[in-house]
Amino acid sequence: MSPDFDPIEAHLTMYMTTQAPHAIRTVIALVAGHVGLSEEKIRVIASDIGGGFGGKVPVYPGYVIAIAASVLIGKPVKWIEDRMENLQADSFARDYDMTCELAATKDGKIQGLRIKTLADHGYTDAAANPSKYPAGMFSICTGSYDYGVAFTEMDAVYTNKPPGGVAYRCSFRVTEAVHAIERMVDRLALEIGKDSAQLRMENFIKKEQFPYHSPLGWEYDSGDYGPALQKAMDIIGYDELRKEQAEKRKNGELMGIGICSFTEVVGAGPSKDFDILGIKMFDSAEIRVHPTGKAIARFGTKSQGQGHETTYAQIIAQELGIPDEHIHIEEGDTDTAPYGLGTYASRSTPTAGAAAAVAARKLRDKARKIAAYLLEVSEEDLEWEVGKFFVKGAPEKSKTIQELVFAAYTNHPQGMEAGFEATHYYDPPNLTFPFGSYICVVDIDKETGSIKIRRFVAIDDCGTIINPMIVQGQIHGGLTQGLAPAMFEELIYDEDGNMLNGSFMDYLVPTSVESPKWETGHTITPCPHHPIGAKGVGESPTVGAPPAIANAIIDALSHLGVTHIDIPITPLKVWNILVEKGVIEAV
């Protein structure tokens, strides 16, 4: 992060890797307005960012100190941190102690859920939560299941750890919420002796029940959970795996199968409920088409590798018929981009992508008026196909979008405003609710406790898919990132609060070596209120992977009386359990 204060112009330019440039500018203006740094004199530029995952949303003390130093000396200042500093002092997530209770009938019909959470937030709260939701969207913890009663409460505590509570690649605590309900469903299946897939199928919210009002107040937009789980079961060969598992247990081998059928809540959010520091969580798109039919589109979001440049261009191309290679996408500069709340919580396509579609449709409406003028027909006599308007019954009489754009600058109807550009600030009517079903198969070595993921099938439903390759990339990366908390990543402190694993020598991050071959697929259940039916996908795999892996490992040990293991589930934890259960002898 590098602030550059110009004392002559009293102007501050901040170069930084932030996920929310406009929000950062506003916060700095609110904090530093008394020294003359009003918002029109602050520019935030976020160029290429190699990942964000929620950790690059907050305003850190280092930002404020660096800005103060630049203002004081009138020169550029750079604040940097190395990897060890980042690991030890940056914000952290997932430090939740959850006590969960699930009520059900003897045959497994879920009746109610109760969760009590104690959350460690470090010495100060790093979470940029919507004001109305200090605990984030944890109340999605009722999951994909149909029941009428739920209660959850959360206490946050301050400790001597770094700033805590950041929403690490999840939509404000959805990962923790899904882990709770999906572990409880597996625990219920074990308790009543029912197959965990069958139990889920019997309790799923049915397709015809949508829009569905959850016990804790969410309105799920659309869903079709059964086919997603069935598809995962068919791909992985679920019934045969269960038979194989039974045979292996007879021979003393440890094999487990774990399922996670999750529902996410993303796309924050509707202004009636969602704001950060009072700023409503809309997002924006500005499309400007030049006379030659080439376009530039600017957005209030900020990509960190999600492929916005591809996705947004495709949305506009589909709406207007301008080839996507002729659409330039810009983000991250507060002097040029329309105001937006940034990229996190899988909100870019649900909000800014929607804004792009609506702005493009405004332009298409203008193009229709110009086409009617040039073709000397009424607007009602025109039909649209991607890239041109033509006269009904006379398709040879047509005007391409390029011709219409040129006319907007050269031959538009009298009284019409010249030019061809539109801006839209999209306020979503509801959140979006992507979902999926993941199945994991593990083998455990009894002698060492080492865990091998043999297969992992992930079926996601993110509504309308804009670019399959972008979605696949998001899912593959997210699955590896979801593997991390399930089996590897953990910050360890001693009794005095000293971190014991403050470098990558000791803090385990999975690489391609540790990652299995991810098998992916999808179902498509469009969002009914989004302009193109998209829901968002970037955080689904980090939500669904941890409980699927944990459930598989615990399933491998369940016949020994194991009902739960806290994540990360390491070989040492498994080995100690095997010693405790008398499966092997300690050496």
288 contact partners, CB below 8 Å, separation of at least 6:
295, 296, 297, 420, 421
Q: What backbone torsions phi and psi does residue 73 show, to the nearest 5 degrees?
A: -100, -10
**If you ran DSSP here, which 8-state letter would residue 79 be given?**
-
Q: What is the spatial distance between Cα 530 and Cα 482, in angstroms, rounded to a whole number?
A: 27
Among residues 176, 421, 489, 539, the one annotated as catalytic is 539
Asked about 309 being catalytic, the answer comes back as: no
Its sign, for the CA torsion 563, 567, 569, 572, is negative
Annotation marks residue 141 as catalytic: no
Q: Which residue out of 170, 260, 440, 527 is catalytically annotated?
A: 170
Q: Where are the beta strands (DSSP E) in 89-239?
A: 96-104, 110-120, 149-157, 212-213, 219-220
Q: Of 59, 52, 64, which is closest to residue 23 (Cα–Cα)?
A: 59
CA angle 239, 240, 242 (to 5 degrees): 65
- Active site annotation includes 169: yes
Token pair belonging to 82: 């190395």
Other beta carbons less than 10 A from residue 66's beta carbon: 21
- Closest C-alpha to 205, from 184, 227, 186: 227
- Phi, psi torsion values for 500, nearest 5 degrees: -100, -15
Burial class (CB in 10 A: 0-12, 13-18, 19+), 311: buried
Is 364 an annotated catalytic residue? no
CB distance 382 to 371 below 8 Å: yes
Using alpha carbons, select from 116, 124, 162 the residue that is nearest to residue 141. Answer: 116
Cα-atom radius of gyration of the chain, to the nearest Å? 26
Query: Choosing from 19, 245, 314, 474, which is the catalytic residue?
Result: 19
The catalytically annotated residue of 169, 173, 200, 347 is 169
What residues are labeled active site?
A: 19, 169-170, 539
